[in-house]
């Protein structure tokens, strides 16, 4: 090596270093682009769903606080449809429905939707719900849960709000902390079922007709098997099972 | 060299390096986000916040892996010395990218609730007893804390005030941070993104860092058993010593010694630069001074002192030449002590 070949940071770099640096720099750039593309392309599909936060609107229907905050309203085609209710953050609103449960109400918020699953993220403040003095209950009364069958299902407990579209992706271990906070705060927990044919379904979880809360936290986002009763609740399905019926796989 | 402390001692090369670095970072982030978006199935898309979170997380891991490979690569080839010289900027940048990743995680996954995000970080996943279920976020938080300490003390001001030993020990914490980061990825993202390619990338990164360090470590150990004569260590035949370069000798006790030849003179000094512990014996004589290959710190051959106005001092050692063979006394002189060079061709 000649003196001219010796790199000193505070001096002008030798030609050989400049050539090497240019070649290595271009190589690293190409490698960077290829790595970025490769790592990004291999990500799992995150699922559909969207939260149109900017579009605040009102829905008319019947509210309930049990097992979770819900609104039964009429879809565009006139069929009754159930939307879960949540706040703007990681909290439920069932405790705030109070005396308006079972009455015609108007709820203000934005829609989170994934396929047939919907949640209304209600606006902050006190005016998110008010009695609809001109409304009638009619066909919108919440039905009693109708037992269908007993089953043991494999899947993952997650929070309905994120899975409906508030976050994408919204499952697995990386989402565990978020799902725990959501469920702890009162967002309805759901059981995301994947059967042997990889068919997927989402079932809202209840123990004995009431809402789960912190009791589920040890199992959130882990692969579990749950034995319980599947019930039809209007256009929703419920999985009625106590925490003792949950087993980590 | 010792100097008045500026935020950055800019040089034209450092500016060019940083431009390349920024271009690479922007290329990675944009490439990741765009490709991640277009490769999702129709009707599906990664949330923009989570896309940035993933892009910064993967980039921080890749950058830290590259940074840890620079040191051994620079020992193997001088061509990587420019990367070594600019490694500090890469390190601080990696910390900042990791900080963006962590801030997004804290806001997105641990925010928007009544629970304090920092409390949530430690309690939301309580499965500390499980390996596969372990709360991996805590590991990433630990790695980021170490990298913060390193970034905050990366300036020469801290090197000078903490002392090279403490500073070096503190910055060796990067290996703990990297180990935590490996565990963070293995117990976190890879538990969800199960593509074998991700596992391969993680293993390849960790293996590269480990193998390069073991390889250069073995190169270092190879010179330990040198024959002694009356307590003097044999260095090499004079004819095997390249002008303006050094041979490195590693005594059983104490620091490695760099024995330089400058024309017909031979002198020995500590191999450890007082700046960041760089291997002086891999440097060369420039303008009559021993010049560190890492950051260009200089010392006079005859007394181990940096030329005025600088004040760094390193230990000097006695040398002798018998029958064309150079020997060094492994007992160090007090740093800065003048030591007459051995004269090639003279009778010892």
Percentages (nearest 5) of helix, strand, coil residues in chain A: 30, 35, 35
What is the reported pLDDT for B223?
Answer: 58
pLDDT band at A12 (very low <50, low <70, confident <90, very high): confident
ipTM over 0.90: yes
Distance between CA atoms of residues A122 and A120, nearest Å: 6
B3 in a structural domain: no
Per the CB < 8 Å rule, is B125 touching A167? no
Helix B48-76, helix B87-108: angle, nearest 10: 160
Let me know: does A71 contact A106? Beta carbons within 8 Å: no
B274 in a structural domain: yes
B5 in a structural domain: no
| B175 & B144 share domain | yes
Let me know: does A82 contact A34? Beta carbons within 8 Å: no
Exposure pattern of A122-135 as b/e (b: 16+ CB <10 Å)? bbeeeebbeebeee
pLDDT band at A6 (very low <50, low <70, confident <90, very high): confident
The CATH superfamily assigned to A50-140 is Nucleic acid-binding proteins (2.40.50.140)
What is the reported pLDDT for A109?
Answer: 98
B228: distance to nearest CA of chain A, Å? Answer: 30
What is the reported pLDDT for B162?
Answer: 85
pLDDT of A4 above 60: no
| B24 & B151 share domain | yes
Q: Which of A2, A10, A30, A184 to mutate to test the interface with B (most CBs of B within 10 A)?
A: A10
Please identify, among B174, B201, B221, the residue that sits at the C-terminal boundary of a domain: B221
> Least CB-CB distance to A39: which of B32, B108, B112?
B32
Kindly report, residue by residue over A159-190, the tens digit of the pLDDT.
999 999 999 999 999 999 999 999 999 999 99
B141 in a structural domain: yes
At which residue do the structure tokens 């997105």 appear? Answer: B108
Please identify, among B172, B200, B221, the residue that sits at the C-terminal boundary of a domain: B221
| B143 & B212 share domain | yes
Read off the DSSP letter of residue A220.
B
B7 in a structural domain: no
pTM of the model: 0.88
B1 in a structural domain: no
Kindly report, residue by residue over B177-186, the tens digit of the pLDDT.
999 999 999 9
Nearest CA in chain B to A49: B44
What is the reported pLDDT for B2?
Answer: 47
Within a 10 A sphere around the Cβ of B277, how many other Cβ atoms? 18
Nearest CA in chain B to A12: B13
| B162 & B245 share domain | no
**Lowest-confidence segment of B144-153, B158-167, B333-342 by average pLDDT:** B158-167
In terms of DSSP H, where are the helices of chain A? 15-41, 94-97, 160-161, 176-185
Distance between CA atoms of residues A101 and A97, nearest Å: 6
What is the reported pLDDT for A197?
Answer: 61
A108: distance to nearest CA of chain B, Å? Answer: 20
What is the reported pLDDT for B224?
Answer: 61
B348 in a structural domain: no
Kindly report, residue by residue over A55-101, the tens digit of the pLDDT.
999 999 999 999 999 999 998 888 999 999 999 999 999 999 999 99
Domain that holds residue B239: 228-343
What is the reported pLDDT for B225?
Answer: 56
| B61 & B197 share domain | yes
| B145 & B19 share domain | yes
Per the CB < 8 Å rule, is A41 touching B39? yes
Query: What are the chain A neighbours of B62 within 8 Å (beta carbons)?
Result: 35
Distance between CA atoms of residues B35 and B300, nearest Å: 55
Say how many CA atoms lie within 13 Å of B9 toward its Cβ: 17
| B195 & B216 share domain | yes
What is the reported pLDDT for A56?
Answer: 97
User: What six digits make up the tokens of B274?
Assistant: 């007082």
B186 in a structural domain: yes
B280: distance to nearest CA of chain A, Å? Answer: 13
Kindly report, residue by residue over B271-329, the tens digit of the pLDDT.
999 887 888 998 889 988 999 988 889 999 999 999 988 888 999 999 999 999 999 99
User: What six digits make up the tokens of A78?
Assistant: 């006139």
Number of domains in chain B: 2
Interface A-B, measured as beta-carbon pairs within 8 A, has a size of 179
CATH T-level assignment (fold) for domain A146-248: OB fold (Dihydrolipoamide Acetyltransferase, E2P) (2.40.50)
Do A50-140 and A146-248 come out as alike in CATH topology? yes
| B232 & B167 share domain | no
CATH number at residue B328: 2.102.10.10
Let me know: does A66 contact A210? Beta carbons within 8 Å: yes
* Mean local confidence (pLDDT), B74-92: 87
Let me know: does B312 contact B2? Beta carbons within 8 Å: yes
Calculate the CA B111 to chain-centre distance. 35
Please identify, among B221, B243, B259, the residue that sits at the C-terminal boundary of a domain: B221
Residues 6 or more apart whose CB falls under 8 angstroms from that of A194 comprise A154, A155, A200
> Least CB-CB distance to A174: which of B35, B124, B188?
B188
| B270 & B288 share domain | yes
pLDDT of A1 above 70: no
| B234 & B217 share domain | no
Each domain of chain A, given as residue ranges in start order, spans 50-140, 146-248
Let me know: does B311 contact B320? Beta carbons within 8 Å: no
Residues 6 or more apart whose CB falls under 8 angstroms from that of A130 comprise A105, A106
Per the CB < 8 Å rule, is A40 touching B31? yes
């Amino acid at each position: 090596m000649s003196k001219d070949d010796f790199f000193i940071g505070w001096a002008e770099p030798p030609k050989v270093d400049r050539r090497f640096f240019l070649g290595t720099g271009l190589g690293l750039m190409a490698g960077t682009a290829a790595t970025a593309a490769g790592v990004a392309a291999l990500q799992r599909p995150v699922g559909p769903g969207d939260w149109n936060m900017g579009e605040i609107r009102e829905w008319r229907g019947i509210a309930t606080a049990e097992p979770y905050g819900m609104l039964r309203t009429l879809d565009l085609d006139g069929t009754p449809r159930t939307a879960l209710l949540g706040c703007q953050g990681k909290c439920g609103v069932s405790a705030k429905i109070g005396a308006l449960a079972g009455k015609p109400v108007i709820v203000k918020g934005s829609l989170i939707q994934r396929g047939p699953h919907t949640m209304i993220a209600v606006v902050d403040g006190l005016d998110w719900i008010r009695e609809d003095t001109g409304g009638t209950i009619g066909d919108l009364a919440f039905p009693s849960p109708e037992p269908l069958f007993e089953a043991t299902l494999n899947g993952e407990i997650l929070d309905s709000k994120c899975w409906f579209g508030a976050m994408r992706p919204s499952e697995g271990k990386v989402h565990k902390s978020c799902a725990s906070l959501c469920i702890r705060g009162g967002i309805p927990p759901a059981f995301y079922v994947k059967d042997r044919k990889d068919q997927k379904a989402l079932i809202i979880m209840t123990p004995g007709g009431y809402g789960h809360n912190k009791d589920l936290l040890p199992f959130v986002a882990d692969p579990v098997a749950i034995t319980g009763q599947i019930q039809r609740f209007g256009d929703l399905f419920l999985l009625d099972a106590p925490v003792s019926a949950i087993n980590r796989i | 060299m010792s100097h008045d402390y500026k935020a950055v001692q800019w040089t034209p090369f450092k500016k060019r390096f940083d431009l390349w670095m920024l271009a690479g970072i922007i290329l990675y982030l944009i490439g990741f986000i765009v490709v991640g978006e277009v490769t999702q199935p129709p009707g599906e898309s990664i949330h923009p916040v989570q896309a940035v979170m993933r892009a910064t997380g993967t980039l921080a891991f890749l950058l830290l892996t590259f940074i840890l490979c620079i040191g051994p690569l620079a020992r193997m080839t001088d061509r990587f010395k420019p990367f070594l010289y600019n490694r500090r900027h890469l390190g601080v940048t990696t910390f900042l990218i990791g900080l963006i990743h962590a801030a997004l995680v804290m806001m997105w996954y641990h925010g928007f609730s009544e629970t304090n995000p920092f409390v949530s970080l430690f309690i939301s996943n309580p499965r500390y007893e499980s390996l596969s279920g372990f709360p991996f976020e805590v590991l990433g938080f630990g790695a980021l804390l170490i990298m913060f300490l390193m970034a905050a003390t990366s300036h020469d001001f801290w090197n000078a005030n903490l002392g090279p030993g403490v500073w070096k020990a503190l910055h060796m914490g990067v290996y703990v941070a990297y180990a935590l980061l490996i565990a963070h990825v293995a117990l976190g993202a890879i538990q969800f993104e199960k593509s074998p390619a991700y596992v391969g990338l993680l293993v390849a990164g960790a293996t590269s860092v480990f193998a390069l360090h073991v390889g250069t470590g073995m190169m270092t150990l190879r010179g330990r058993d040198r024959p002694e004569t009356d307590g003097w260590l044999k260095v090499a035949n004079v004819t095997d010593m390249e002008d303006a370069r050094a041979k490195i000798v590693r005594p059983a006790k104490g620091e490695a010694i760099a024995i330089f030849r400058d024309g017909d003179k031979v002198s020995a000094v500590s191999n450890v630069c007082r700046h960041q512990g760089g291997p002086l014996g891999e440097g060369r004589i420039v303008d009559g001074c021993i010049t560190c290959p890492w950051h260009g710190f200089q010392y006079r051959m005859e007394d181990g002192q940096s030329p005025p106005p600088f004040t760094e001092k390193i230990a000097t050692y006695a040398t002798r030449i018998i029958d064309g063979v150079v020997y060094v006394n492994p007992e160090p002189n007090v740093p800065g002590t003048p030591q007459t060079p051995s004269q090639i061709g003279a009778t010892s």
